[in-house]
Amino acid sequence: MLFYFNLLLQILKVNSYDFDYNNVANNFISSDIIQDNFENVQEGKFRFWLTTDCLNILYEDSPFLMYDGCYFQNPDAPYGLMLFPPHVDEEIDEYYGFPINDGNLTGTWHLKENDAIVLIGITPPKCNYFSFSNYLYSRHFPKDWKPDSGKLNQQYFLNCPDGDQADRCEIFASLDDSVNLDRGLNLNKLKFNTSFALILATSIEATLKAQQGLINVGVSPDLISNYSFPATELNLGVNRNADTFITVMRTAFYQNDDEANEYFKNIPFRVFRMELKDDVTLFQRRDLVDRKTSYNDASKANVTLQQMKSIISDVVKSVVLNKTNSLEDWYVQITETVSGAPDNGFECINKGRICLADCRDTLYPFSTAIYRKSKICETLNISCNGVMNGKLSSDETDVIIVVGVNHAMTEMSLYASMSIYDETYLWGVYTIGNDDLVNTVWNYINVNDYHDHISEKVLPFIYVYEIRRDCKDIYNCISVPSIPTSDVKAVIPLNDPVVITERMYNNPVTHVGPELEDVILPVVIHLKKR
């Protein structure tokens, strides 16, 4: 009896801080603290950006070029965005930015020095990951601005509405470490389906006043998180030369899909932006979390990284032989992936290049290097290998095979995935989570060839997965159609290259992404019979 009583007390304690977010939001904006200390209080809107929004909305409304597309959005789950109306005295920029809008509410917005944003709501149902990330979306450059000699290809990486002429240009670079379910967010022990409040401000004073307003309407300080903008590094204001910003919520791999869909449908958030009346002290840029730990992808197997890489090379050879028997009759392209994003967004900001919504909670290995080489071939009118361009034909022998390390199993991340993208639009089509990557290597190797001590340790951590137009009865395979139907919307046209990428989110020690040198990036094999 005493056991159950103590258990009840524990449950009550865990849930004691929960609150009705709608009631709190209404009381918050009408409270004396907010009314006395802030002006121009505007309610915004929270919405989720679906993968289909990329194709339905993005290209129709955006003034920016199309090639940055959907920013390698995770196809497993939509991203959450905060939308706001223009400031009372804002100059509306023709090249405002991200084209997600609802009436006069926009997904990118300006910030004043005295602004505070307050998000009040409920965390997602149980999932492997959720977070919030602040970004510099676009920046104004003088019309006579040119890349200097120390910034090779800078202009190529910028995305400006005027094309080669620099003016307002898209950067989409992170401004800090994200705050996630394991670091930076103040949540009760349940983490999921629970109340919380998040303050995003440019100054110390606005943060403190907003925090006081929340506390006075009944929100526990234990459920209030501060996620400031590094204001001293930014061009704040509401004129045409000021920076624009966007905040992105990420979620991934829900335990219950019905609960997730209900969450996306109901959207249990209220969001406000307000201007503090007093003078302010701007927040400075904070130190980033060190990615480095004392272990790597090979530590769990009790081998060295080089030993694990050697076994992966052997597996790649086995996969090729397993599928071809004789290489003479096949086109073969083996591509080592490369990290597709810098360590942090300021590397992009300082160099004036696009960061494509980078996130320090992960790494992004991409298979794009080979496609760039292919474009050079095409430009020079050189005959290229039949599988060099990354395009997946309707030929039943045409197959892309990914060989990699399951980073969740090696404990370098709390969740990992392999995703497929349309390279033309950077549109996420399919994702395979770490649970589905387990035990996928055995169909591609002769176990009798791997009886040495090192192989036996390493092989359980390796995955092999195929991408075809039609998998038929092939296991460990994703079918990627080229033409949409009423039932299938996720397609990659025949003329668009297929890009493979991995994600490895939330190292269990640091709760950011792992150090690049401590993980093994996947290898992509492309085969097609001549």
pLDDT surpasses 60 at 151? no
pLDDT at position 390, please? 86
Cβ burial of 329 (10 Å; 0-12, 13-18, 19+) is: exposed
Under a CB-based contact definition with an 8 Å cutoff, are residues 48 and 242 in contact? no
For residues 379 and 336, the model is more confident at: 336
pLDDT surpasses 60 at 14? no
pLDDT surpasses 60 at 282? yes
Torsion of CA 188, 190, 192, 197, to 10 degrees: -10
Q: Is residue 125 part of a domain?
A: yes
How far apart CA 500 and CA 492 sit, in angstroms, is 13
> Per-residue pLDDT tens for 74-85?
777 789 999 999
Number of folded domains in the chain? 2
Q: Which of 237, 261, 276 delimits the end of a domain?
A: 276
Q: Is residue 4 part of a domain?
A: no
Q: What is the pTM of this model?
A: 0.90
143 and 24 co-located in one domain: yes
> Per-residue pLDDT tens for 404-446?
999 999 999 999 999 998 887 778 889 999 999 999 999 999 9
Q: Which of 276, 291, 324 delimits the end of a domain?
A: 276
Question: The domain containing residue 334 runs over which residues?
Answer: 305-529
Q: Is residue 290 part of a domain?
A: no
Q: Which of 261, 276, 291 delimits the end of a domain?
A: 276
514 and 418 co-located in one domain: yes
pLDDT at position 242, please? 93
For residues 234 and 340, the model is more confident at: 234
pLDDT at position 259, please? 96
> Per-residue pLDDT tens for 23-69?
999 999 999 999 999 999 999 999 998 776 776 655 555 444 454 56
230 and 322 co-located in one domain: no
82 and 210 co-located in one domain: yes
How far apart CA 433 and CA 413 sit, in angstroms, is 12
320 and 433 co-located in one domain: yes
The residue assigned the tokens 């989409």 is 172
494 and 428 co-located in one domain: yes
How far apart CA 173 and CA 244 sit, in angstroms, is 11
Task: Kindly state the average pLDDT of the residues 448-462.
Answer: 94
- Sign of the Cα pseudo-torsion (8, 13, 14, 15, in order): positive
pLDDT at position 388, please? 78
How far apart CA 414 and CA 474 sit, in angstroms, is 29
How far apart CA 416 and CA 419 sit, in angstroms, is 10
Q: Is residue 410 part of a domain?
A: yes
SS3 track for 381-419 = CCCCCCCCCCECCCCCCCEEEEEEECCCCCCCCCEEEEE
522 and 406 co-located in one domain: yes
- Which of 102, 105, 99, 100 has the alpha carbon at shortest distance from 85? 105
> Per-residue pLDDT tens for 313-356?
999 999 999 899 777 889 888 888 988 788 999 998 887 778 88
pLDDT at position 139, please? 87
Vertex 89, ends 86 and 92: CA angle to 5°? 50
> Per-residue pLDDT tens for 484-514?
777 776 788 898 889 999 999 999 999 999 9
In this predicted structure, which of 11-20, 23-32, 137-146, 240-249 has the lowest mean pLDDT? 11-20
- Rounded to the nearest integer, the mean pLDDT of the chain is 87
356 and 469 co-located in one domain: yes
pLDDT surpasses 80 at 179? yes
Q: Is residue 292 part of a domain?
A: no
Q: Is residue 491 part of a domain?
A: yes
How far apart CA 183 and CA 80 sit, in angstroms, is 19
184 and 133 co-located in one domain: yes
Task: Kindly state the average pLDDT of the residues 256-272.
Answer: 95
402 and 510 co-located in one domain: yes
pLDDT at position 155, please? 41
pLDDT at position 4, please? 45
Joined tokens for residue 283: 């927040």
For residues 352 and 14, the model is more confident at: 352
479 and 423 co-located in one domain: yes
Task: Kindly state the average pLDDT of the residues 104-125.
Answer: 95
pLDDT at position 156, please? 41
Q: Is residue 442 part of a domain?
A: yes
Q: 3-state DSSP call for residue 87? A: coil
271 and 328 co-located in one domain: no
Q: Is residue 95 part of a domain?
A: yes
